[in-house]
Amino acid sequence: MVTHLTHWGAFEADSDGTRLTAVRPWRGDPEPTPLIENVASAQHHPARIDQPYVRKGWLEHGPGPAARGDDTFVPVSWDTALDLLAGELARVYREFGPQAVYGGSYGWASAGRFHHAQSQVHRFLNGLGGYVSHRNSYSLGVSQVLLPHVLADMGTLMARSTTKSVLARHSELIVSFGGLSPKNSAVSPGGVSRHNTRGWIETAQENGCRFVTISPLRDDIPAQANAEWIAPRPGSDAALMLALAQVLDSEGLADNDFLDTHAVGYPRFAQYLRGEVDGVVKDPEWAEQLTGIAAQRIRELARDMAAHRTLITVSWSLQRARYGEQPLWLGVVLAAMLGQIGLPGGGFGHGYGSAANVGLAVRVSSPPRLPQGENGVDDFIPVARIADMLLNPGAPYEYNGEHRVYPDIRMVYWAGGNPFHHHQNLARLRSAFARPDTVVVHDPFWSATARHADIVLPSTMTIERDDYGAGEGDRFFFPMPALTAPHAEARDDYWMFGELAERLGFGKEFTEGRTASEWLRHLYDEWRQGLAEKGHELPDFEAFWSGAALELPIEAEEHIAFADFRADPAAHPLSTPSGRIEIFSETIAGFGYDDCPGHPVWLEPEEWLGSARAAAFPIQLVANQPRTKLHSQLDIGAHSQSTKVEGREPVRLHPDEAAARGLHTGDIVRIFNDRGSCLAGLLVDDAVRPGVAQLSTGAWYDPDPRDASFCRHGNPNAVTADRGSSRLSQGCTGQLSLVEIERYTDPVPELTVSGPPSIERV
């Protein structure tokens, strides 16, 4: 029996050396997740890549723009693949320079610290001179840009959020915009040792805390919360929050002393609330017309918030939408108006229920990881703008006050991750992937990204290599010895890059003369010595490697966010330009963006149930994260497959909407708009607000060969819009789209994603 760590939890496994024979939750996890069932069933699945491949068209005609995604692949030896790839890397860097290479690799490919695909590919490309990189993430693209201007950077917010045990004891009311989703709380970058979402919420409820969940989905919060469900029209949260703020302002419930001493810009924002700017008072009656929530209930909630120790928490989902800056900023504003920031159980939270690493004790040190070196290229893009970059080289765009230009990319190098999961409007992304000269992908599986590559190198899964791992902020550090031999000819990314670096003349610089095993020991010993100098003694490498999970030292068991700032804002200022909470930001106002002005406002999105577009597409599609996998990882695994409907991803629809369309549970339906369409299996469910359909992301993109905008498997990004949240953040807006749904009456097409693409063996 050996313990292993994944992004969704730790498990204990038995192995015969080739495959896992038994998988059980780690005994230290009080709330294990069934996602671990995907690992063993996926390892030797037919969709696994068995050896290197080269796209036939690239092999025959050489590098250049090409329609990718439907071509035949030719198997080649490792030497042939690496020789071809080394030659192409040399050509691109020689003729176009490092600014013509995009080092993508956005994703959660590895829970390990050394065999972390992003670190490996970036270290390798830096050795060649650098690459065009990305900023921020699809999950937090808005937050990572906005919040440093108005409160704190996301690293600080996640690492130093009030610990959940403090909330469980002290919170009297938790108002959760976007819910406290148990499925999202099951995952964390790098792994989760002990899941505890149900536990802390149940304890809080037993201590008298009341929960209000504001979401189109009733089950976006554990049943243990016994929560009141408020379901505004999706996309109207900012209007609801403005009305709550207006009640606090007009009824004298705002903490003006706190606003005077700890915030800047409230008077200018209050003028907007009161209608002094545009003649529109942002009161509950105004908000009722936009949100569908009764004005009286809005008033009652505002008064309730002011009367109790209240946490205002905003899930990551709200900022993954058009104008996502506004509800996020308003969450900060509401917490500041209540004056409870820095108090136990009150204030502002961002990410409770969005990932497992929010609300943990603060570690003394993060575990070791592979150094990546220095990138010789300054150019970057916001991560969700990859299709814009590939399609529009040289085009101008704005980002966080900067006027930027998209680079001309000739090579995309992707190791870890699956942009054909994360990105929006997949038909457009497919067109974008046709433009580079060469696309290179390392992947264990024939994902959609691998199918759109020219050179495909099969990488190992975490269970097939030695590593160690710890989740972001998690206090347990796991040795992760390989559980099985690699599948077929799969190899570690480190081995591949070492071989390429040797061919390109910098092998010694890349490896520093160390094998993977030697790197593990070296990095651990360096890290252990650093902690010893701080007074924390840890076991030597042999003891760690042969033992169980290592518990890391922490600063304290509990932490209250911004307590020092509350006690003395002069001595402990925030990292914002003013050192205080910025309800009005002079910096953002100076950018001159009409889609993100200097304080939060109501901006009507193009796609919501109150827009003219809803006449043609009257259902608001919520494309949230899945319950049975992390993003698209191991979608072919047993647990993920167990919830499919005739092999398609399930879509949930309110009974009234289903009845109006003559639909029933189990029907195969077509979800469509003027961007594309996808098939899904229908589940009729009153936990979904009327007017809303919920289709999780993560189904592997399976386009019809005659129409790339039609996904036969159920990927909602066939219909989502590829547009930025605003010129400020250029964040992802994939959460909400308008669609129509109908029964699919044609013969249901076969899926192609459960096996390899067309292969020509010579």
Packing angle between helix 266-273 and helix 237-250, nearest 10 degrees? 100
Q: Active-site residue 108, yes or no? A: yes
State pLDDT tens for residues 469-519: 999 999 999 999 999 999 999 999 999 999 999 999 999 999 999 999 999
C-alpha distances (whole Å) from 533 to each of 82, 142, 364, 537, 551 are 43, 38, 12, 9, 18
Contact at 8 Å (CB) between 445 and 637?
no
Angle at 676 between CA 673 and CA 677, to 5 degrees: 85
CA distance 538 to 532: 7
Q: Which one from 8, 106, 229, 527 is the annotated catalytic residue?
A: 106
Quote the distance between the C-alpha of residue 476 and its chain's center: 22
pLDDT at 426: 98
Q: Which one from 53, 108, 138, 700 is the annotated catalytic residue?
A: 108
Q: Tokens in use for 755? A: 């096996």
Residue reference for tokens 């490309």: 125
CA distance 360 to 337: 26
Residues 6+ apart with CB under 8 A from 428: 387, 391, 722
Q: What is the pTM of this model?
A: 0.98
CA distance 331 to 571: 25
Angle at 520 between CA 518 and CA 524, to 5 degrees: 120
CA nearest neighbour of 415 among 442, 384, 379: 442
CA distance 458 to 49: 5
3-state secondary structure of 240: helix
Packing angle between helix 493-503 and helix 117-127, nearest 10 degrees? 10
CA distance 508 to 522: 16
Partners of 737 in beta bridges: 621
Mode of pairing for the β-strands spanning 736-743 and 619-622? antiparallel
CA distance 396 to 403: 7
CA distance 311 to 760: 59
DSSP H or E run through 136: none
CA distance 192 to 473: 9
C-alpha distances (whole Å) from 43 to each of 46, 333, 509 are 9, 48, 33
Residues 6+ apart with CB under 8 A from 387: 423, 425, 428, 429, 431, 432, 722
Partners of 175 in beta bridges: 212, 312
Residues 6+ apart with CB under 8 A from 385: 397, 406, 724, 730
Q: Which domains does the chain show, CATH number per domain?
A: 2-131+375-513 (3.40.50.740), 148-362+561-591 (3.40.228.10), 612-743 (2.40.40.20)
Mode of pairing for the β-strands spanning 53-55 and 455-458? antiparallel
Quote the distance between the C-alpha of residue 193 and its chain's center: 19
CA distance 363 to 534: 13
Task: Tally the C-alpha atoms within 13 A of residue 244's C-alpha that lie toward its C-beta.
Answer: 30
* Residue ranges in the chain modelled with pLDDT below 50: none
CA distance 84 to 79: 8
Cβ atoms within 10 Å, residue 688: 24
Q: Active-site residue 106, yes or no? A: yes
Residues 6+ apart with CB under 8 A from 264: 578, 580, 581, 582, 583, 584
CA distance 76 to 79: 8
pLDDT at 650: 98
3-state secondary structure of 149: helix
Contact at 8 Å (CB) between 738 and 688?
no
Task: Tally the C-alpha atoms within 13 A of residue 274's C-alpha that lie toward its C-beta.
Answer: 10
Contact at 8 Å (CB) between 33 and 186?
yes
DSSP, residue by residue, 584-649? S-HHHHHHT-TTS-SS------SSSTTSGGGGTS-EEEE----SSSSTTTTTTSHHHHTT-BTTBP
CA distance 712 to 676: 11
CA nearest neighbour of 132 among 96, 83, 81, 178: 96
